[in-house]
Structure 1
Amino acid sequence: MSIHSTAQVHASAVVEPGAVIGEGCRIGPFSVVGAEVTLGARVELKSHVVVTGWTEVGEDTVIFPFATVGEVPQDLKYVGEHTRLIVGKRCRIREGATLNTGTEGGGGVTRVGDDVLIMTGAHVGHDAQIGDRVILVNDVAIAGHCVLGDDVIVGGLSGVHQWVRIGQGAIIGAVTMVTNDVIPYGLVQAPRGELDGLNLVGLKRRGVDRAGITALRAAYQTLAQEEGSFLDRARKLAEESDNPLVREIADFILSKSDRSFLTPKGGR
């Protein structure tokens, strides 16, 4: 066990031998820290937090009561292999959230980026890869093997099916089931997840200028209305556009995926 001299550990907390507790950490009442856990500098565990498994939590992250971080996967194929969970810096993991370690078949690592907000009751499944500045609203369920790009927002009570990819800057409305890949900067809503345009609010907040938004709108229309298959339209964007955001969408569509795509209304 290694507990930095500046760390504060409540008398009722349990820190198992082997854990590494960084500078300025605060471990609240009735919390449990497992033997293979590493807490970076200034990590705070409120009361009744469990951090277990082979788990690394980045500096300045705060974990709220009754969250369980680093437990074994909810996967019947899991047979006890030694797998990891890595949580980035400055994350907020709210009450009752659950984050699982990876599986051997999925690469062995569940990863959460920096500045991520995981709200009350949300779940991050095994082998998921969560980018930076992602927001998972209350009771969101991210299944195993999902990949969420930077700046994605998933609305409350929504579910993302296993192996689905959600591109950077996309937004998923509340109470939505997402079973197919979502293009970067896409807007998805409706109970069964329909691609219904672009996340224009997010693009403006990011500082994308009028020319960039115009280019993205034109690209979306190409994906929705041009001749040929969805992949054909993406190839056309890749060949003809020099806008980096448009190229990002095209590259995302043309990259390898285990799922099909949500396509624009009217698209094929």
Structure 2
Amino acid sequence: MTAVHATAVVDPQAELHPSVSVGPYAVIGPHVKIGAGTTVGPHAVIEGHTTIGQDNRIFQFASIGAIPQDKKYDGEPCELVIGDRNTIREFVTFNIGSPGGGAVTRIGSDNWIMAYVHIAHDCIVGDHCTMANNTTLGGHVTVGDWVTIGGLCGIHQFTKVGAHAMVGFASAVSQDVPPFLLVDGNPLRVAGVNVTGLKRRDFSDERIRAIRQMHKLLYREGRTLADAREAIAELALQVPAASADAALMGDFLAAAERGIAR
């Protein structure tokens, strides 16, 4: 049977795998589904139409699945979906989606999410991301895979952060951050390529050289964004090993709506 502490309040309609553990004074609502091996710490609150996958570790005092901080929200049955093997530390706040943004907030797998992180309505977070303490994602933010965000960062609503990017401590992000880049500051500046992160993920020297060239095409040659995109597409043909990386960059730039960080 599920290991639920005697002081926890779990609605009988909630669906918990028998291997789920629920700590003292936790509260779990009727529309919650929690997968195998997940642990819920003391005083955590999980509510709303929330689906949580396997082997997540949710620490004490987390607030998961509360209604969005959106004045237009009027009780619609929107969702929060969380993947597998995430570490979700103390006092985080994850909100469900809103009708105006797809109605789903979605968090992937293998993420390391530290204390006091806020992920607002309709955000999409990929896999293998790290968000340090007090990171705040406004509504409708998209974060790619393998992104690292430093402590005390604010990500403006509707902003996109591309895969493998790193956002430095106490940065204010109000424009889209292309993949692979290192950005920091307020106002935000592009400091270069996230080379250390790429090496940790076993990117070859050839791929890293090509990504450095993409950075040069975007920021060092005075090109328009359209010209840079064309040059990056040509680079994919010149360096086959980096073709997927160039495609990722090209697709991101084509979808950028707030302008890219400079």
- Taking structure 2 as the reference length, the TM-score comes to 0.95
Distance 1:258 1:234 in 2: 15
The answer (yes or no) to whether the contact 1:238–1:251 under 8 Å persists in 2 is no
In structure 2, what is the equivalent of residue 85 of structure 1? 80
Residue 147 (structure 1) aligned to one of 142, 145, 158 = 142
Give CA-to-partner distance per residue, 1:111-161, whole Å, 9 cap, x none: 000011111001000000000011110000011000000000110000100
In structure 1, what is the equivalent of residue 254 of structure 2? 254
Are 1:195 and 2:190 counterparts? yes
In structure 1, what is the equivalent of residue 62 of structure 2? 67
Distance 2:78 2:49 in 1: 7
Residue 174 (structure 1) aligned to one of 159, 169, 192 = 169
- CA-CA distance at 1:76 after TM superposition: 1.0
The answer (yes or no) to whether the contact 1:235–1:254 under 8 Å persists in 2 is no
- CA-CA distance at 1:227 after TM superposition: 4.6
Are 1:135 and 2:130 counterparts? yes
**Counterparts of residues 88-167 of structure 1 (less than 5 Å):** 88-167=83-162
| Percent identical residues | 37
Are 1:25 and 2:20 counterparts? yes
The answer (yes or no) to whether the contact 1:231–1:254 under 8 Å persists in 2 is no
In structure 2, what is the equivalent of residue 43 of structure 1? 38
In structure 2, what is the equivalent of residue 245 of structure 1? 245
Distance 1:233 1:135 in 2: 29
- CA-CA distance at 1:245 after TM superposition: 1.2
Distance 2:40 2:72 in 1: 31
Give CA-to-partner distance per residue, 1:140-198, whole Å, 9 cap, x none: 00110000000001100001000001000000001000000001011011122211111
Root mean square deviation, CA, Å:
1.1
Distance 1:224 1:119 in 2: 32
Q: Secondary structure at the match of 1:259?
A: coil
In structure 2, what is the equivalent of residue 12 of structure 1? 7
In structure 1, what is the equivalent of residue 201 of structure 2? 206
Distance 2:16 2:245 in 1: 41
The answer (yes or no) to whether the contact 1:61–1:91 under 8 Å persists in 2 is yes
Q: Secondary structure at the match of 1:85?
A: strand
In structure 1, what is the equivalent of residue 221 of structure 2? 226
The one-letter amino acid paired with 1:81 is E
Distance 1:140 1:34 in 2: 26
In structure 1, what is the equivalent of residue 231 of structure 2? 236
Give CA-to-partner distance per residue, 1:4-49, whole Å, 9 cap, x none: x2x1000000011310010311000000000000010111011101
The answer (yes or no) to whether the contact 1:86–1:111 under 8 Å persists in 2 is yes
